[in-house]
Structure 1
């Protein structure tokens, strides 16, 4: 066959494929059509980027990047950038995306990042697939657990970052074994997270489920999170956060903070956590601020929570410092006010089931506790409540009362 005939045949086949895709779903951008192999060993990063750029630059329809089922894609550190041409863009994960299992891959990359979306409005990440961070290599060299190890690492990749992604959503995805935080939300407005499953060992270091920072108008619902750190952590400059129907455990609970470590002016308000359950966690509903911080945490509601063998079901620590248990009193502090605890039941593994440790200089005000029944998880043991510089009102609280007028 001469070269001209070969070129003609290739062109004809390509035309037929393009025509077939257009006839089928012209809005679909399957990574396999852009060179991805999906065998779990070949680096498919370039194919993912090319498919994303094609979808993001589509001017009509509702483009959808497709990661097909029954395939496993090895993807190196990558950023999917916007803005895109259409109002919405879908990123559908039906298969499995895995990270390189060797930390050495990140030597020329940002060690904090694996997969990231940046500046994408109308992003819809969905599907029944899995994102596997293969974090064990990082955990084995973590400074937290191996401080004497030469070259130990304090920073490890987050599996998925959503950066300045407005009016977007993340749903139905399974996350496992992230090197560090599983999902980071930063600078987002109007994000919905629903029906996600996050799983990593309870002893995996710093593997927060979802961490929120500098974001507003977020909803997290119907999710199950078990990790080696906070199931959900709320950082600074956040407002209008609604969390409901979340199962937490193992992990460190649902935490506001820590806040104010650098002495900055903290701004956190309008946080609601409802209808959540905690199983075997270190904390339940926690607010944690550094002594050197300033600013405020206000208008927080924890309601209808269930605790099953939780070490610290209700805890405020307004006196956090570098030397735990030996913090010198400071004149500064983050003002914590208008916090509601309502409708809670369950068991504590420690004697102090309610521990509100507020600052002498900047006491907690407007604390309300109502209809709370906590007991020890061990027969015959009693639990107590401790409130230091915490002012408010309580009704029907066991153990209690402890709040100051």
Structure 2
């Protein structure tokens, strides 16, 4: 081989090597300790967290905000990419430590992510809402104008993002709130609070599209997962729920001009000792709304109160106007391959609207046992229309 060819090959190798080095992904790490955070559980680290985010926001490439092991006390913390001011290509929050809220924090939220795209939260860390002292102040089941307690983690106008392996414990209100978001994935989330902690929904979704929740464990004092108006294209799979109030669509119809709920799939889930199983709830007197194309399938119930439940007379305070029927139309709801045990005799209960009966309900392969002394398992349908297929225990009440 001639020397000129050898020289040419060496030049090509150098060029290729230089290109590979430049093309190799590089992530700029912003360690919160470098901005004043101290992991002793005593010093308020909220400003340090937000400063680390501001620096990551301005980075023109892949960025990481790093919260290492330790206990970090933090007050209200807002991570905002409003007006597209962030320059990063992707942003990762690596949470290895424990982030702890003040016991006396009030307001709408504690940790807020807003107007951010291409966000990943990971690391296996814990967000501790320290809600025990605040729960006694919560009378929201009786008072719709109750004192506002903060949600632990809120995502507002967040898109194309993923949350992995995060723990949330003892939130004062909702653990994770998803509002006006698009294309978000929640994987391997662990949420826990006592079964008597009020309004501590696990994951609450509203006005959001293309949201998935997978392979997670949620036990709390309210709905494990709740889907409010505007929830569209929601996929929930391999979630274990309990304690709690089950997996719920609603409540709906409480406000004027609410967006519809459509395209919900709940699959391969387990509910253990919950107050409800899979539920759709609308206010007894309500504004117009529509729930359509909802599927609950391959669901195991273990000693669940009201495993299959549509409640269009929802009124937790007992002070609602029940003279007027719900104006929410429920249609195209499918219950397929749901089995296990009911802790009450009435395992399938459809209480639909007098003025807008439920349409196109489907019961397929339902097998729910009950071993109480008050008789065999039963079902009840009011203003419900649909069909049944395959095994039905209890016997279907649909006509």
TM-score by length of 2: 0.88
Which residue does 1:197 correspond to in 2? 190
Question: Shift of the alpha carbon at 1:337?
Answer: 0.4
Aligned length: 368
Q: Within 2, Cα distance between the matches of 1:277 and 1:155?
A: 31
Q: 2:91 aligns with which of 89, 92, 101?
A: 89
**Are the equivalent residues in 2 in contact too, given 1:140–1:146 (CA < 8 A)?**
no
Question: Is 2:75 the counterpart of 1:79?
Answer: no
Question: Is 2:398 the counterpart of 1:403?
Answer: yes
Question: Shift of the alpha carbon at 1:143?
Answer: 2.6
Question: Is 2:257 the counterpart of 1:255?
Answer: no
Q: Within 2, Cα distance between the matches of 1:198 and 1:331?
A: 35
- C-alpha change, 1:48 and 1:322, in structure 2 (3 Å) is closer
Question: What SS does the corresponding residue of 1:305 show, helix, strand or coil?
Answer: strand
Q: Within 1, Cα distance between the matches of 2:305 and 2:119?
A: 38
Question: Shift of the alpha carbon at 1:41?
Answer: 0.3
Which residue does 1:3 correspond to in 2? none
Question: What SS does the corresponding residue of 2:116 show, helix, strand or coil?
Answer: coil
Runs of 5+ consecutive residues of structure 1 not aligned to the other structure: 1-24
Q: Within 1, Cα distance between the matches of 2:340 and 2:97?
A: 38
Which residue does 1:351 correspond to in 2? 345
Q: Within 1, Cα distance between the matches of 2:91 and 2:115?
A: 12
Question: Shift of the alpha carbon at 1:325?
Answer: 8.9
**Are the equivalent residues in 2 in contact too, given 1:164–1:187 (CA < 8 A)?**
yes
**Are the equivalent residues in 2 in contact too, given 1:220–1:244 (CA < 8 A)?**
yes
Runs of 5+ consecutive residues of structure 2 not aligned to the other structure: 1-25
1:159-197 Cα shifts (integer Å, max 9, x gaps) = 000000000111101110000000000000000000000
- C-alpha change, 1:323 and 1:36, in structure 2 (3 Å) is closer
Q: Within 2, Cα distance between the matches of 1:26 and 1:270?
A: 37
1:125-181 Cα shifts (integer Å, max 9, x gaps) = 11111000000111132235999xxxx963211000000000011110111000000
Question: Shift of the alpha carbon at 1:33?
Answer: 1.2
Q: Within 1, Cα distance between the matches of 2:375 and 2:316?
A: 33
- C-alpha change, 1:86 and 1:144, in structure 2 (3 Å) is closer
**Are the equivalent residues in 2 in contact too, given 1:266–1:293 (CA < 8 A)?**
no
Which residue does 1:243 correspond to in 2? 236
Q: Within 2, Cα distance between the matches of 1:293 and 1:74?
A: 42
Question: Is 2:293 the counterpart of 1:299?
Answer: yes
Which residue does 2:209 correspond to in 1? 216
**Are the equivalent residues in 1 in contact too, given 2:142–2:317 (CA < 8 A)?**
no
Which residue does 1:388 correspond to in 2? 382
Question: Is 2:111 the counterpart of 1:115?
Answer: yes
Which residue does 2:53 correspond to in 1? 52
**Are the equivalent residues in 1 in contact too, given 2:56–2:88 (CA < 8 A)?**
no
**Are the equivalent residues in 1 in contact too, given 2:345–2:374 (CA < 8 A)?**
no
Which residue does 2:274 correspond to in 1? 281
Which residue does 2:153 correspond to in 1? 160
Q: Within 1, Cα distance between the matches of 2:386 and 2:236?
A: 24
Which residue does 2:308 correspond to in 1? 314
Give the ranges of 4+ consecutive aligned residues of structure 1 lying more than 6 Å apart after TM superposition.
Answer: none
Q: Within 1, Cα distance between the matches of 2:42 and 2:142?
A: 30
Which residue does 1:28 correspond to in 2? 29
Q: Within 1, Cα distance between the matches of 2:302 and 2:227?
A: 22
